[in-house]
Amino acid sequence: MRMEDNSSDVAIGQLVGKYTYPHRSQKWRELTLEGIKIDHFDPKQNIVREVKKSPKLEKAHIAQVRYYLYRLVTAGIKDPIGVIEYPRLKRTVNVTFSDKVAEEVRSWITDIELIVRQKECPPVISKSYCKRCAYHDFCYV
Ligand code: SF4
C-alpha cells in the first residue's frame, strides 16, 4: 500500500530533494523492493537518502530509514547506511544499522501483524500530525 503517491506533502518533499541538490542527482537511483520504493539509493556506497521538509517528526523519519536499512540487509545488501537531509535547516542525520536495530524493526513488524489481524480497527489517535499524513484518509475515513 503506497498512499504516499497521492500526498501533496510527499510530492513537495520530493521536489525539495530534487532541486536542493541537483548536482548530486546522478548517483541516486530509485530502488523498489516488495512493498516499498526507496526514492534515493546510491548502489555504489549502499546509502539510502531521505529528504524531509522539517524535522518535526524526526523520530518517524529515523524509523522509516531504519526499516529501509532492514529491508536492504534482508535483501542481501551489505552494510547499508542511511542519511536524512533537512535542506531548509542545512542539517543531516546519519542512520546506522545494527543487530539492535534489526530486533527493533522485527518488533514493529510483529506489532503491525497483530494490528492487521485484529477484527476491529484500533481507536483513532487524533494527533495533530495526522492531518498532514499521507495515510490520513485511510485512517480517518
Ligand atoms: S493518519 Fe494514521 S498513519 Fe498517519 S500518523 Fe495518523 S494514525 Fe499514523
Q: Is the CB of 4 under 6 A from ligand 1?
A: no
d(CA 7, CA 11): 6
Q: Is the CB of 60 under 6 A from ligand 1?
A: no
Q: 28-43 burial string, b = 16+ CB within 10 Å, else e?
A: beebeeeeeebbbbbe
Question: CA dist 106 to 3, 11, 103, Å?
Answer: 23, 29, 5
Compute the mean pLDDT over every residue in the chain, rounded to the nearest whole number.
Answer: 88
Digit-coded pLDDT (tens) for 30-43: 999 998 999 899 99
Q: Is the CB of 135 under 6 A from ligand 1?
A: yes
Q: Give the gyration radius of the chain's Cα atoms.
A: 16
Model pTM above 0.75: yes
- Label the pairing between strands 81-86 and 47-51: parallel
Lowest mean pLDDT among 17-21, 34-38, 68-72: 17-21
Residue with cell 530509485: 30
